[in-house]
């Protein structure tokens, strides 16, 4: 396990391009990851919520991860997600992440069963570590109760730290609630606390947070970096207003499928717009109004030069 000092900045939760059979298109994903890293993102996090991670098997994701690294995306700049309630699948994914020496793993709690209790979550992660034979990969806890129905509360984080020590290095708090992130930063100063929400990042940074892991850097990495690097929250007010409007436009029209549709235009590659069922691609006639709304926030999306 390595020093946690580097676990900060803007991390792009990358969307996942797929082919016509809904298989991961690793070549296009590598090109996209290279672009956001070149734009200044500290890390990429593949196969999370924005990356439709729950729609692929661990074997598919492990193979794609191997192809990403073979294509030149450094393992040291990747924080792949583990997005499954199936113990064997979680262990398989963690084993693949460790075999590639990725910087860390982003771990969603096992969803489906409602309110299993804190000790059950600890037991799941314990069994995942044992079955995967993982002994060095850092773990970032992924707190997104809107989807997982289970929250990494301060009490649960404390229990995980007690059981696993410095294997737990951070939390991605995707509640969108500033006070939740600030509480985590205050109670766990030794952890890297990330938000998933651009609007929360300035205040969280001032409160000891590490930055953000989110989907909007797929499109707006430069603005997110300006917010991250600003010396004070009030210096970012125009960018925060733009970020709020962008989130409203993207989330209000389908979330990740909007990001994919915009990237399809940017890359001049219609296949980028595909989503894995049960998600459906954005209707082509909806994109014009979405692009117009995004352009009003100061960013135009013409084809990539």
Encode the chain in three state secondary structure.
Answer: CCCHHHCCEEEEECCCCECCCCCECHHHHHHHHHHHHHCCCCEEECCCCCCCHHHCCHHHHHHHHHHHHHCCCCHHHECCEECCCCHHHHHHHHHHHHHCCCCEEEECCCCCCCCCCHHHHHHHHHHHHHHHCCCCCEEEEEECHHHHCCCCCHHHHHHHHHHHHHHEEEEEECCCCHHHHHHHHHHCCCCEEEECCCCCHHHHHHCCCCEEEECCHHHHHHHHHHHHHCCCHHHHHHHHHHHHHHHHHHHCCCCHHHHHHHHHHHHCCHHHHCCCCCCCCCCHHHHHHHHHHHHCCCCCCCCCC
50 is in an annotated binding site: yes
81 phi, psi to nearest 5 deg: -95, 150
pLDDT of residue 1: 42
Single out the residue of 160, 116, 110, 111 nearest to residue 138, CA to CA: 160
Name the band, by pLDDT with cuts 50, 70 and 90, for residue 257.
very high
How sure is the predictor about 300, in pLDDT bands with cuts at 50, 70 and 90?
A: confident
Two structure tokens written together for 266:
């940017």
Do 247 and 201 touch, CB atoms closer than 8 A? Answer: no
Q: What is the pTM of this model?
A: 0.95
Q: Is the pLDDT of residue 234 over 80?
A: no
pLDDT of residue 298: 85
Tell me how far CA of residue 159 lies from CA of 169, 176, 218, in angstroms: 14, 23, 34
Comparing 55-59, 236-240, 283-287, which segment has the lowest mean pLDDT? Answer: 236-240
By annotation, the residues acting in catalysis are 142, 172
pLDDT band at 118 (very low <50, low <70, confident <90, very high): very high
Average pLDDT, the chain: 94
Task: Give the per-residue pLDDT at 3.
Answer: 62
Q: How confident is the model at residue 293 (pLDDT cuts 50, 70, 90)?
A: very high
Cis peptide before 278 (omega within 30 of 0): yes
Band the pLDDT of 305: cuts 50, 70, 90.
Answer: very low
State mean pLDDT over 169-177. Answer: 96
Q: Are 147 and 50 in contact (CB under 8 A)?
A: no
Span 138-146, average pLDDT = 97
Share of the chain above pLDDT 90, in %: 86
Average pLDDT of the segment spanning 182-203: 95
| Spatial separation of the C-alpha atoms in residues 33 and 255, rounded to whole Å | 19
What was the pLDDT predicted at 237? 82
Average pLDDT value for residue range 274-288: 95
Sorted by where each starts, the structural domains of the chain and their CATH numbers stand as 4-295 (3.20.20.70)
User: Is 297 a known ligand-binding residue?
Assistant: no
pLDDT at 58: 98
pLDDT at 172 over 80: yes
Q: Is pLDDT of 156 > 80?
A: yes
Classify the C-alpha dihedral 130-136-141-142 as positive or negative: negative
């Amino acid at each position: 396990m390595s020093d946690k000092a580097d676990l900060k900045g803007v991390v792009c939760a990358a969307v996942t391009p797929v082919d016509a059979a809904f298989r991961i298109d690793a070549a296009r994903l590598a090109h996209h990851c290279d672009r956001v890293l070149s734009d200044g993102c500290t890390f990429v996090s593949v196969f999370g919520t924005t990356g439709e991670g729950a729609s692929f098997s661990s074997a598919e994701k492990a193979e794609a991860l191997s192809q990403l690294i073979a294509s030149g995306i450094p393992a040291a700049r990747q924080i792949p997600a583990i997005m499954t309630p199936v113990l064997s699948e979680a262990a398989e994914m963690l084993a693949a992440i460790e075999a590639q020496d990725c910087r860390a793993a982003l771990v969603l709690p096992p969803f489906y069963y409602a309110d299993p209790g804190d000790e059950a979550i600890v037991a799941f992660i314990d069994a995942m570590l044992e079955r995967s034979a993982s002994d060095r990969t850092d773990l970032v806890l992924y707190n997104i109760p809107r989807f997982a129905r289970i929250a990494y509360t301060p009490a649960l984080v404390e229990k995980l730290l007690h059981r696993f020590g410095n294997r737990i290095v951070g939390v991605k708090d995707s509640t969108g609630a500033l006070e939740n992130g600030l509480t985590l930063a205050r109670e766990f100063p030794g952890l890297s606390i990330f938000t998933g929400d651009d609007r929360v990042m300035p205040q969280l940074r001032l409160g000891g947070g590490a930055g953000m892991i989110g989907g909007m850097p797929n499109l707006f990495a430069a603005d997110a970096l300006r917010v991250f690097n600003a010396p004070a929250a009030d210096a970012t007010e125009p960018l925060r207003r733009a970020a709020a409007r962008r989130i409203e436009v993207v989330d209000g029209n389908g979330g990740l499928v909007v990001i994919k549709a915009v990237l399809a235009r940017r890359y001049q590659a219609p296949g980028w717009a595909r989503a894995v069922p049960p998600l459906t691609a954005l209707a082509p006639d909806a994109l014009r109004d979405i692009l117009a709304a995004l352009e009003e926030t100061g960013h135009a999306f013409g084809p990539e030069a």
